[in-house]
Chain A
C-alpha cells in the first residue's frame, strides 16, 4: 500500500473520535430527559425496594449535573473502563465483546448473501428489463421488503422448526453447547463456524451452520430488495451510456459487454449501500436476534435502553459508531479500487 493511502486511512480513523464524541454527547443530552428517580428504576426493580430509592440515587451519583457525569464517564473510557452494565449484570466492555460474536456471525453470513443475491437479481432484472423476469424479480423482492421482519421470522420458525423439526433456534444444539461449556471445544473467536474449523470439528460446524439457515434466510428475504433495486437502476444507467453502444458496435458479444464493463461500473453505487447494509447488520438486529435466540449486541442494546442503562447504551454507541466509520472507510477505499478515476482525499 502506498504511503498516501496509509495517511488517508489514518486520517479517516482519527475522524472516529469526533464522531464518537458527538454521538455520545447526543445520547447524554437525551438522557437528560430523565430525572434521577427514573434512572434509579434501573436498580429498583420491585416495589419492595422503593424505600431505597434515595440511597440508590446518592450511591450511583444519578443526580450529579450532566456535564460531571459525562466527564467522569469519558475519563473512565480513556482509561479503558467502559463501566458496569446493570441491565446485563456485567462490565460493559465484556458484554460488548462477548455478545458481538453472535451478531458478527449472523452478519458475516447474511450480508454477503444478501448482497450477492441482490446484485445477481438486479443484474438480470436490468438486462431483461420489462420482461416477465424483470417484473417477477421486482415483485418478489418488494414483497420481501414489505414483510414485517418479526412476522416472517416467527412464521419461518413455526414452519421449519415447529412443523418439520429442523433448524432449531439458538446458535448451537444442546450437545454442541455442552461441548463448548466443558472446554472440549475451544472458543477462539466466538464465531462457532470459524471456531469449529479451527477445532477441526465437522459436526459442530454443521450444527452451527444449520442454526444460521433460518435467520439468514429471513434477513436476506427482507433486505435483498434494497440491493437489487439500486443495482438494477445503476445497471440501467450504465446500459444507456455511449460506451456500451460503441462496444456493441465494435462487435463485442453481449456477455462480455455486460460482465466486463457494465456490471463493474454499476457496482459503484451498490458499494455504498452494501457498506451501509453490512454496518447496519453488524450494529445488531434486535428482532432477528430475539426470535432466533441469537442474542447479540442488538438484543442487548435494546434490553439496556429500555431499562435506562446509560453506560451500556453509551458503550454500544461507541461500538456502532466505530463500525459505521470503518464501514464508510472501507467503502471509500473500494470506490478508489473499482474506479481509478476517483481520487481519495
Chain B
C-alpha cells in the first residue's frame, strides 16, 4: 500500500516537473527573441564592467577604473572637446590658454589659466584659484610610488621624481624643493599661473592637464579629510607627513565639483553616483549612474539582455554571443590607444629559470641571445599577423609599425614594418650567431600573464611558426600569474615576453619613451640603449614646433623598425555596447570609462 502511494506521489511530481519545464522552455525561447518592453530604471544609467576602482584620490589614481569615477565627480581646468584628443574646452578655467589669446608666454614656459567664478562644490563651497593651486601642489607633494604624479613633474619641474631634486628629509633640500613647487604654481589675482622648467609642447601639456591627476580639489573639504593644510612654513615636515603615504587621504572622499556626486562606494560591488544639481554647466540629464563590478561574463551578459545593465564590457572572444541581441546597439572599429608587442631582452639575468641550459646547445639560450639583431628580425618575420588578427582578434585589430599608435599625431602611415615572411625568417635564423643558432637549435620559454586570451594566442602563433622552421627550435609557452610574471620582468629573466601598453596621455612621447628610451618602462628592463634615440626623445618633448616634432618622431619610428627592440603585434580596435535606449554617447579613446554627463535614456 505504502509503495503504491509513494509511486503515485513521485509520478505526480514528475509530471508537474515535466510540465513546468515544457512551459518554461517555451517561454524561454520566446523571451530570447523579444525586446524588453520598456526602459528599465529610466533615470539611472547602469554600467556593468570588470574590475573596480582602487581609490578616489585624484593624486593617487593611475588605473582606469578609479579614473572613471574621478572624472565624473571632479572637474579639471580644461577638458577634451568631446571626441577629440588634441582640442580642448575650458571647464574650471574660463579659457583654454593659447599663444593667440596671450595666455601662453615665454616660449610656452608660462601658462595662465583664468579661473571661472562661482563654480560650486559638492560640499557647499566654491572653487577659487587657491583651490587650483592647492590641488596641484598637494598632488606633487603626495607623489606616491608608482603613481601618476611624474606627468605633472615633467613639465613643471623637469624631472620625473622629486628625489631627483634632492633629499626630502634634509631641511635645506626640502625647503629648496618646496620653493620650486611654490613658484611653479602661483595664484595671480583671478588666474593660476604655471611656470614650466623647460619648453614643452603645448598640446601635450593641455592633454596632461585634462586628465584625472590634474583634477581640481576643494581645499577646505580635503583638509577635513586629513589632507595637507596648505601650510608652507616647514617643507621638511610637510614632506615627512604627506609624502608617499600608505593610504591616500582622499581614498573615499568626494571633494569635487563635477556633474555627479559620490553617493556610495561598496567595495568590489559598485560605485553609485548621483546628479549634482548645482553643476556650473547645468545639471546632467541622468539622475543616477551606477558602475557595477560584475566579473562573471555569463551574469553580465544576462543583465544586458534583460535590460538591467545599460552598458557592459564585452571581452572580444564573446562578441558572437551578443551580436544580434534585440534592443542593443554596438559601435565597432573604435581605435584604441593601446599597443601589444613582443619584447626581447638583450641581456637576460643569468639566474633566469626560463633560459634552459643558458647556452647555445639546443637546450637553452645564452643570456645575450637577443642581442643579435638577426634573431630579433627572425622572430619578427615569424609572426603570422593575418592568422592572429583574423582568428584571435576576430579581425578587429590593426597591424601597425609602432611604437606610435594610429590616431596620434606624427604617426607615420608609410613606415615600413615587419610582415609574416618565413623565408626571411629562415634567412635571419641562419645568419644568427654565425649560423650556430640554426645548427644547434635552442629552447626558450615564452611567458604570458593569466587571463589574457589574446596574448596567449599570440604566443602560440609565434611558437607554431618558429618551431615549423627547424625541428631543433623549441618554444615553450607558459602561463603564469601576475606576481610571478612581474618578478620575472623586473629581474630581466624573460628572454622574450608579450605585453601591452595603454596610453597615459595621447601624445607620441608617451609611447616612444617606454618603448625606446634607455630609462623607458620596457626598454630599461630589456637592456636596450641607444644614446641617439635618448637624445631624440628628449628633444621631442622639449620641442614646441609641430613640424620639428614630426621629423623627430618619424625618425624614431624608422629607428624602431631598424633596431627592432620589440615587435608590435597589434593595435586593437574596440567596441562599445549599449542598450538602444542609451542616448548621447560618443567615443574618445583617452577617456578612462563612461562620461555620464552627456548620457541619457530614451528613444
A contacting B, Cβ–Cβ less than 8 Å: yes
Q: Which residues of A contact B (CB under 8 A)?
A: 34-35, 37-53, 55-56, 59-60, 84, 88-90, 95, 98-99, 128, 131-133, 136, 154, 157-159, 161-165, 168-169, 174-175, 177-178, 181-182, 290-293, 295, 299-300, 303, 306-308
Q: How far is the CB of B469 from chain A (nearest CB, A)?
A: 30
Residue numbers of B with Cβ under 8 A of A are 2-3, 6-7, 10, 24-25, 27-29, 31-32, 40-41, 44, 46, 52-55, 62-63, 145-146, 244, 246-247, 251-252, 263-264, 266-269, 272, 288, 290, 294-296, 298-299, 302-303, 305-306, 308, 481-487, 489-491, 499, 501, 504, 514, 521-522, 524-525
Whole-angstrom distance between the alpha carbons of A157 and B25 in the complex?
A: 14
Residues of B within 8 A of A42 (CB): 483
Give the complex CA separation of A95 and B522 in angstroms: 36
**Least Cβ distance of A250 to chain B in Å?**
22
Is the pair B303, A303 in contact by a Cβ cutoff of 8 Å?
A: no
Q: Decide if B10 touches A41 in the complex (CB within 8 Å).
A: no
Distance between B297 CB and nearest chain A CB, rounded to angstroms: 10
Determine the main DSSP class of B at the interface with A.
mixed
- How many angstroms between the C-alpha atoms of A49 and B54 in the bound complex? 15
- Contact indicator A35/B308 (Cβ below 8 Å): no
Q: Is the CB of B267 within 8 A of A154?
A: no
**Bound Cα distance A39, B491 (Å):** 14
Interchain nearest-CB distance for B592 vs A (Å):
13
A-B contact count (CB 8 A): 159
Can you offer 5 A-B residue contacts whose CB atoms are under 8 A?
Answer: A38-B487, A53-B486, A95-B267, A163-B29, A291-B299
Inter-subunit contact A159/B490 (CB<8 Å): no
Nearest-Cβ distance from residue A121 to partner chain B, whole angstroms: 13
A157 lies within 8 A of B10 (CB): no
Residues of A contacting B514 with CB < 8 Å? 47-48
Select which of A41, A45, A131, A307 is within 8 A of B6 by beta carbon: A131
Whether the Cβ atoms of B24 and A159 lie closer than 8 Å is yes
Q: Are B246 and A163 in contact (CB under 8 A)?
A: no
**Is B62 within 8 A of A181, CB to CB?**
no
Give the complex CA separation of A118 and B3 in angstroms. 21
Q: Which residues of A contact B25 (CB under 8 A)?
A: 163
Distance, CA A9 to CA B31, complexed state (A): 56
Please determine whether A164 and B10 come into contact, CB atoms closer than 8 angstroms. no
Partner of B302, one of A51, A59, A162, A307: A162
With A48-B501, A157-B302 known as contacts, the answer to whether A38 contacts B146 (CB < 8 A) is: no
The smallest beta-carbon distance between A131 and chain B, in angstroms, is 6
Chain B residues whose CB sits within 8 angstroms of the CB of A291 once the complex forms: 296, 298-299
| Chain B residue nearest to A127 in the complex (CB) | B2
Q: Report whether A89 and B490 are in contact in the complex, using a CB–CB cutoff of 8 Å.
A: no
**Are the CB atoms of B272 and A181 closer together than 8 Å?**
yes
B267 to chain A, nearest CB (A): 5
A295 to B295 CA separation, bound complex (whole angstroms): 11
A47 touches B501 (CB 8 A): yes
Interchain CB contact under 8 A, A37 and B486: yes
Q: Which of A43, A48, A174, A182 contacts B41 (CB 8 A)?
A: A174
The answer to whether A154 touches B298 (Cβ under 8 A) is yes
The minimal Cβ–Cβ distance linking B313 to chain A, given in whole angstroms, is: 15
What is the distance, in angstroms, from A32's C-beta to the closest C-beta of chain B? 14
- Our pick among B46, B266, B268, B521 for the contact of A299 (Cβ within 8 Å) is B268
Q: Flag if A290 contacts B483 (CB, 8 Å).
A: no
Q: Given the complex, which residues of B lie within 8 Å of A131, measured CB to CB?
A: 3, 6
**Cross-interface CB contact of A293 among B299, B486, B522, cutoff 8 Å:** B299
Find out whether the CB atom of B268 lies under 8 angstroms from the CB atom of A132. no
Nearest A residue to B251, CB-CB: A89
Complex contacts, B10 vs chain A, CB 8 Å? 132-133, 136
**Chain B residue with the shortest CB-CB distance to A291:** B296
B172 to chain A, nearest CB (A): 23
A residues less than 8 Å from B54 (CB atoms): 89
Q: A43-B146, A163-B31, A181-B263 are in contact. Are A50 and B483 (CB under 8 A)?
A: no
| Chain A residues, Cβ within 8 Å of B55 | 89
**Shortest distance from the beta carbon of A51 to any chain B beta carbon, whole Å:** 7
**CB atoms of A53 and B295 under 8 A apart:** no
A50–B488 Cα distance when bound, in Å, is 11
Q: A341–B563 Cα gap in the complex (Å)? A: 85
A114 to B119 CA separation, bound complex (whole angstroms): 58
Identify which of B2, B63, B246 contacts A84 (C-beta below 8 A). B246
Which B residues lie within 8 Å of A165 (CB)? 31, 306
C-alpha gap A98/B264 in the complex (Å)? 13
Which residues from B are CB-within-8-Å of A178? 44, 288
Contact A38:B298 (CB < 8 A) given known A47-B521, A165-B31: no
Q: Contacts A59-B244, A84-B247, A131-B3: A34 and B24 contacting too (C-beta < 8 A)?
A: no
Pairwise interchain contact B145-A52, C-beta atoms closer than 8 A: yes
Assess whether A157 is in contact with B299, with CB atoms less than 8 Å apart. Answer: yes
A168 to B46, alpha carbons, bound, how many Å? 15
